[in-house]
Structure 1
Amino acid sequence: MQEPLISEIFSLDGPLAAMSPGFRVRTTQIELAQAVERTIAERSTLIAEAGTGTGKTWAYLVPALLGGGKVLVSTGTRTLQDQLFSRDLPRVREALSIPATIALLKGRGNYVCHYHLERLQGEDRALKSRGEVHQLRNIQTFAQQSATGDRADLPTVPEDAEIWQRVTSTRENCLGQDCPNVRDCFVLKARRQAQEADVVVINHALFMADLMLREEGVTDLLPAADTVVFDEAHQLPDTATRFLGSSVSTHQLLDLGRLIETAGLAHARELTNWSEQARALEQATRELRLSCAALENMPSRRVTFEAFPEPAAFDIARKALQTSLDAVGQLLASVEEKHPDLATAARTARELSERLAEWGQPARGLRSDAQDLHQIVRWVELGLHHVRLHAAPLSVAEAFSRYRQGGQAWIFTSATLSVHGDFSHFTERLGLQNAETVRMESPFDYAKQAMLFVPQSLPVPQSSEFLPAFVEQLMPLIQASQGGALVLCTTLRAVERVAALLADAYDRMGLSWPIMRQGNGTRRDLLERFRTLDHAVLVGSASFWEGIDVAGDRLTLVAIDKLPFAPPDDPVLEARLRACRSRGGNPFMEYQLPEAAIALKQGAGRLIRSETDWGVLMVGDTRLVDKPYGKQLWRGLPPFARTRVLEEAVEFLTLKQA
């Protein structure tokens, strides 16, 4: 029987329209689906930028289900993962009447671990509050009743609750086949289902973890696939950088010390004084923390290896810690076969020792061939109670492109992959220069639905007067839109300041509308309140620039304080800019500007989510208009109507409100 044509499936007489009231035929959606279908047939690579409203999810799911063979769909966030698995995939599968099996697979940290849950139950003193006692009871009941063990299915325990770290496993402390609970393991169940399913929904972090393990010869995390779809693909370069690097923290070392003492005393008491061994490791770890005290005076509390302010003390402390870690690691290696807990401690000691050793080679002031070849950047980050040593590759292009398995079709899609139609910034970062690129415009009438407002005169963004002036211009727009505003800031410090300035302005004007800000609740809680409360304003940074989909009158104003240039003290960015300069390039034009353009487009994309949405996008940073490079930024935005006059923006909102 011949497969139906893509154009027929997406027609008004097709199966998608039959199950979707209000279905519209979108030419760009059909074109995207046909491009995906062609890529799958040719086993080639497609990079598709699909403007908001294109319907890209269905556009890739239909051809993937029809002819993709074994399919992996990788998303940017766990939230989108859950949405694909529980809503989009079942609906498309039902519409097409295809008996495809689907599975959801997340990283092991998302699944309750029976072994660690039982251990925590036996260590009541490890619980830090009555709240944790209550949370543990909820998790115990959940583990007995759940078919998946996925913590996303237990909303009564917040996703960022610290207790999750103690009732889930890590690659280091998983006992594998030695675990007494191996037959009930939620992680292994999820992986078995993924091996057997036709379509598996994963996330970018898991995909990169699999890449890392394959580099080490481990191939049982993700199943082999014929087709891989990367949704929200603009996040991939940063995820790849994070996962292809390594880190070791004083938290991990102190946890290891506790594990060494507990396991050693319980299962190999006769070998050594395990309490002394653990104390020696803990003391060496604290000495490392003390050697980084100079970072407290640095604005970002982080510094590259080469620029360390007091290097001698740090180098001595790192070497002493390495010696202590290696010594206890050798003791553990001699008894690791006695018990799974000793094996876990030995494996963790080996892995942390290997990561720590990266900080001794090459020595300070020297460069090695390996260092030049892999272009690794190393930096130290000082937290409130910990130090973390990071190493990351300057470029992930070679490793990422090398991972591709022969005969696979790769599809990358997002609303933000190009800079004014140029995909080179994305393709070069992932080593995808030979891919086909297509750009699908949004079907929305942006010129009628929305207006871009850039104030005529605000202080320069670096000025202490900037944020007060920004909020002063913002207040009339909030009043005209009756709330329903999302304020996106480039730093967490600005989030606090803007929220405080808005609260002061509300007090002066006698307004009692709700103001929510990042940090006062989980992201999920804040968004849920924003969707349900009248006249709400939500102030956020970073993760609030994307993945927010609030249609209708609940969101009619998006305000961005400054152009989203990455902070210059980011060690990886700093090293990439230096490398660009050294080869005679222009780091601002080649790297910083394209990154800012994509981030700005993401933030602006929060405003118009459907054909009937309307609103104003305010950008407080006048460099968008005043600087020569600003044209490259605003030309990448949707074609909104534009103004620099506050009264015109207020009038636009007032008329739409009426």
Structure 2
Amino acid sequence: MRVLDFEISDWFLQEGPFAGAIPGYKVRDAQIQLAQAIDETIQAKSVLVAEAGTGTGKTWAYLVPAFLSGGKVIVSTGTRTLQDQLYTKDVPRLKKIMALPVHVALLKGRSNYVCHYHLDRMEQDDRSLRSKEEVVQLRYIRQFADRSHSGDKTDCAKVPEDADIWGRATSTRENCLNQDCPFVKDCFMLKARRNAQEADVVVINHALFFADLVLKEEGIADLLPAADTVIFDEAHQLPDTATRFLGDTVATSQIMDFLKVTEVACLSQARDSARWSEICKKVEYYVKDLRLVAAGIDKLPGKKATYEQIPELDKFNEALANMEDELDKLVRMLVAVQERHPDLMAAAKSGTELRAKIYRWSHAALPEVEPDSAEENEEPENETSADTSKKNRQQDILVRWVEFGLHHLRLNSAPLSVHTFARYKKPEQAWVFTSATLSVYKDFSHFTRQLGLHNARTERWESPFNYKDKALLYVPNHLPETQSPDFAQAFVDTLLPLIKATPGGVLVLCTTLRAVDYFAHLLIKAFDKEDVDRPVMKQGESTRGQLIQRFRQHANAVLVGSASFWEGVDFPGDILTLVAIDKLPFAPPDDPVLEARIKACRQEGGNPFFEYQIPGAAIALKQGAGRLIRTESDWGVLMVGDRRLVEKPYGKLLWRGLPSFSRTRYLEEAVSFFDKSEPPVDEANQT
């Protein structure tokens, strides 16, 4: 039963409570219809996949039925940033207007909460601090921990969230002492989990949702409370998040850190039991030997190799087995003395988990790879029962690959398919998936097929924004092909007149980090030559948050970024009036998981280009294009430098999936768009 016998639409109508509380409120039919569809899904305990264009107001469209449902609701967002925004901005505002006694809790992963035990250990061991800056940061964290109610590192303003010290001031599942911790009564993480158990609505992120699923699979206590409804916002990220979390990663740097902590703990608390330094040094030797044997991977594309591609595979397997054996001996000895002290217990727990991960990686089996059997341009067919059975055969197949880093080697594994995700839905639960980018030219099958949501109800609503008058899509007709050595310079030469003409900021979205550096260099060079007075910022020179803040502060900055800037950034009004995309965002060909999925698709007679690469590029392009228009008053030009968008037959699947921009291929028309466009008029901000 719902808390109040209101029709969902009553809240959103012109005579409703929202209109009375928000100046300039506008009724949006799409928002009402989305809210009604979500309410019906909650009541029916079914599954809804809902695409709502930018400006629909999807946040309130799902929060209103969530607040009124009368059951336990989990809202999962794409990132911690969105999670914080939802909890600190949208939820309090809506609760106030609706005047409902809804208890809403925020819950994050354990790495976000200060750990009293590990903080205390750092304060007692000067060797754990790596710089004078960390001495100051430790003092700030201690002050924060003493006065904070949440212990959430996001609230510790004086220490950046990405500061290295947080890795030692928080706990991991492996080194958490749980009920054996001397500070268990003060534990911020346990308090947050208890609060979540008592709440009506719990705001989490996708990473925590999948971490909970993994623990359930391993038979370990749940992280999340049982829920009647789960709402996935920014749901387009779920397939990638599922792939990452349902797989595994072990880096040699993790093993080395474990050895350092173990040696200190053992020499302090169990010196008489064994020659700990000698034993740890032996494991360290085999860790270094493994990296040495794998050095050939450094010369491969992306410095990574699937298991079958590892140079001198027999030697690699031998080195890995030697490392496993020595690590196993150390862990067994740790387990034997772990009862002596909490530090030994934490070390034994960490070692056991590392050993298990390495064992799972080294003993995973892949099926024989059959020869490719499909032509690249074969059209995809509709899904049949045969398709379903072949996906079931992929269910337990793991893709394994190795990455060679500057100071580490990383062993990765991921499931070939994540379509089994759907089986985690309980019959008494409702699931809602919503995002601005879930369909590929009005077709949801790519998304639903990936997650196994075959019986889901699918609905979509266009953005209410006037793209035709407010935005222009410009695909230059004169640029060379993207693989040409002249492309980058020609792209910047074409972009320069637009930068000079636009009154607002510029976001240049690249498909690779290498392109970020190169385009930033070319832009700075061009600005010097043409005397353009605009700051150029690039991804990597500062944290993402700092770059976003600086971009907002400047009236006319140029920000060059890659993957993390294609979504989740909002620059309304004149802050951003020009978005430039260098190439169509096809996934990199050296992605081991994509490579394995492409092979499997070909083996089954499918067409991987149309089943994987085109849908992935279409969704990413929609996300990048979505940075331009964020409110009804926004306006500007979207430039895509890749001619394939309009000159290749498959390009239609991409640009037809975008909002209804006006379109041109001529630079003069793109420049004149800025001349004839009127400055935006401020209107009410309606979530």
TM-score, normalised on structure 1? Answer: 0.97
Q: Give the % identical residues.
A: 60
CA distance in 2, matches of 1:608, 1:391: 38
Q: Which amino acid aligns with 1:403?
A: Y
Establish whether residue 382 from structure 1 lines up as the match of residue 404 from structure 2.
yes
- Superposed CA deviations along residues 374-411 of structure 1, whole A, max 9, x for unmatched, are 1110000111101110111011111x112112311110
Q: What residue in structure 2 maps to residue 189 of structure 1?
A: 191
CA distance in 1, matches of 2:585, 2:70: 38
The structure 2 residue matched to 1:284, chosen from 274, 286, 290, is 286
Q: Which amino acid aligns with 1:576?
A: R
Q: What residue in structure 1 maps to residue 653 of structure 2?
A: 632
* Greater displacement, 475-484 / 191-200: 475-484
The structure 1 residue matched to 2:60, chosen from 44, 58, 61, is 58
CA distance in 1, matches of 2:70, 2:668: 53
Q: Label 1:242 to 1:182 Cα distance change in 2 as closer, same or farther (>3 A).
A: same
Cα distance, 1:171 vs. partner? Answer: 0.3
- Superposed CA deviations along residues 340-378 of structure 1, whole A, max 9, x for unmatched, are 2222222222221122123432579979xx996511100
The structure 2 residue matched to 1:413, chosen from 428, 434, 454, is 434
CA contact (8 A) 1:417 1:598 kept: yes
Cα distance, 1:313 vs. partner? Answer: 2.2
Aligned residues: 655
1:81-480 map, 5 Å: 81-361=83-363, 374-398=396-420, 400-480=421-501
Cα distance, 1:181 vs. partner? Answer: 0.6
CA distance in 2, matches of 1:371, 1:169: 37
CA contact (8 A) 1:483 1:537 kept: no
* Greater displacement, 249-258 / 103-112: 249-258
Cα distance, 1:594 vs. partner? Answer: 0.2
Q: Which amino acid aligns with 2:653?
A: Q
Q: Which amino acid aligns with 1:561?
A: D
Cα distance, 1:155 vs. partner? Answer: 2.3
1:521-560 map, 5 Å: 521-560=542-581
CA distance in 1, matches of 2:227, 2:538: 42
CA distance in 1, matches of 2:368, 2:495: 52
CA distance in 1, matches of 2:200, 2:677: 47
Q: Label 1:371 to 1:281 Cα distance change in 2 as closer, same or farther (>3 A).
A: farther
- Superposed CA deviations along residues 37-62 of structure 1, whole A, max 9, x for unmatched, are 10011111100000000000000000
Q: Which amino acid aligns with 1:515?
A: V
Q: Label 1:116 to 1:371 Cα distance change in 2 as closer, same or farther (>3 A).
A: farther
CA distance in 2, matches of 1:283, 1:20: 65
CA contact (8 A) 2:4 2:68 kept: no
Cα distance, 1:2 vs. partner? Answer: 5.6
CA distance in 1, matches of 2:491, 2:504: 16
CA distance in 2, matches of 1:240, 1:291: 31
CA contact (8 A) 1:380 1:387 kept: yes
The structure 1 residue matched to 2:596, chosen from 551, 559, 575, is 575
Q: Label 1:136 to 1:371 Cα distance change in 2 as closer, same or farther (>3 A).
A: farther
CA contact (8 A) 1:455 1:645 kept: yes
CA distance in 2, matches of 1:366, 1:604: 41
Cα distance, 1:602 vs. partner? Answer: 0.3
Q: Which amino acid aligns with 1:481?
A: T
The structure 1 residue matched to 2:643, chosen from 585, 606, 622, is 622
- Superposed CA deviations along residues 297-339 of structure 1, whole A, max 9, x for unmatched, are 1230000001112212211110100110111111112122222
The structure 2 residue matched to 1:613, chosen from 620, 625, 634, is 634
CA distance in 1, matches of 2:394, 2:228: 35
Q: What residue in structure 1 maps to residue 608 of structure 2?
A: 587
CA contact (8 A) 2:504 2:574 kept: no
CA distance in 1, matches of 2:70, 2:539: 40
Cα distance, 1:135 vs. partner? Answer: 1.2
CA contact (8 A) 2:293 2:319 kept: yes
Task: Could you tell me which runs of 5 or more consecutive residues in structure 1 were left unpaired when the two chains were aligned.
Answer: none
CA distance in 2, matches of 1:502, 1:595: 29
- Superposed CA deviations along residues 412-445 of structure 1, whole A, max 9, x for unmatched, are 0000000011101100111111000000111011
CA distance in 2, matches of 1:463, 1:96: 57
Cα distance, 1:483 vs. partner? Answer: 4.4
Q: Label 1:268 to 1:348 Cα distance change in 2 as closer, same or farther (>3 A).
A: same
Q: What residue in structure 2 maps to residue 642 of structure 1?
A: 663
Q: Which amino acid aligns with 2:127?
A: R
CA distance in 1, matches of 2:10, 2:394: 54
- Superposed CA deviations along residues 145-182 of structure 1, whole A, max 9, x for unmatched, are 11101011112211111111010100000011111111
Task: Could you tell me which runs of 5 or more consecutive residues in structure 2 were left unpaired when the two chains were aligned.
Answer: 370-391, 680-687
CA distance in 1, matches of 2:470, 2:200: 41
Is the partner of 2:668 in helix, strand or coil? Answer: helix
CA contact (8 A) 2:230 2:430 kept: yes
Q: Which amino acid aligns with 2:494?
A: Q
Q: Label 1:638 to 1:364 Cα distance change in 2 as closer, same or farther (>3 A).
A: closer
CA contact (8 A) 1:72 1:225 kept: yes
CA distance in 1, matches of 2:368, 2:448: 32
Q: Which amino acid aligns with 2:352?
A: R
CA contact (8 A) 1:9 1:16 kept: yes
Is the partner of 2:173 in helix, strand or coil? Answer: coil
Q: Which amino acid aligns with 2:668?
A: E
CA distance in 1, matches of 2:427, 2:126: 51
CA distance in 2, matches of 1:364, 1:59: 44
Q: What residue in structure 2 maps to residue 45 of structure 1?
A: 47
Q: Which amino acid aligns with 2:425?
A: R
Cα distance, 1:500 vs. partner? Answer: 0.6
Is the partner of 1:374 in helix, strand or coil? Answer: coil
Q: Label 1:363 to 1:19 Cα distance change in 2 as closer, same or farther (>3 A).
A: closer
* Greater displacement, 590-599 / 214-223: 214-223
Q: Label 1:106 to 1:362 Cα distance change in 2 as closer, same or farther (>3 A).
A: closer
Is the partner of 1:269 in helix, strand or coil? Answer: coil
CA distance in 2, matches of 1:387, 1:416: 35
CA distance in 1, matches of 2:346, 2:317: 28
CA distance in 1, matches of 2:221, 2:22: 40
CA contact (8 A) 1:40 1:68 kept: no
CA contact (8 A) 2:365 2:397 kept: no
TM-score, normalised on structure 2? Answer: 0.93
Q: Label 1:617 to 1:372 Cα distance change in 2 as closer, same or farther (>3 A).
A: closer
Is the partner of 1:300 in helix, strand or coil? Answer: helix
Is the partner of 1:482 in helix, strand or coil? Answer: coil
CA contact (8 A) 1:481 1:657 kept: no
Is the partner of 1:384 in helix, strand or coil? Answer: coil
CA distance in 2, matches of 1:558, 1:163: 36
Q: Label 1:474 to 1:21 Cα distance change in 2 as closer, same or farther (>3 A).
A: same
Q: Which amino acid aligns with 2:416?
A: L
Is the partner of 1:562 in helix, strand or coil? Answer: coil
Q: Which amino acid aligns with 1:355?
A: K
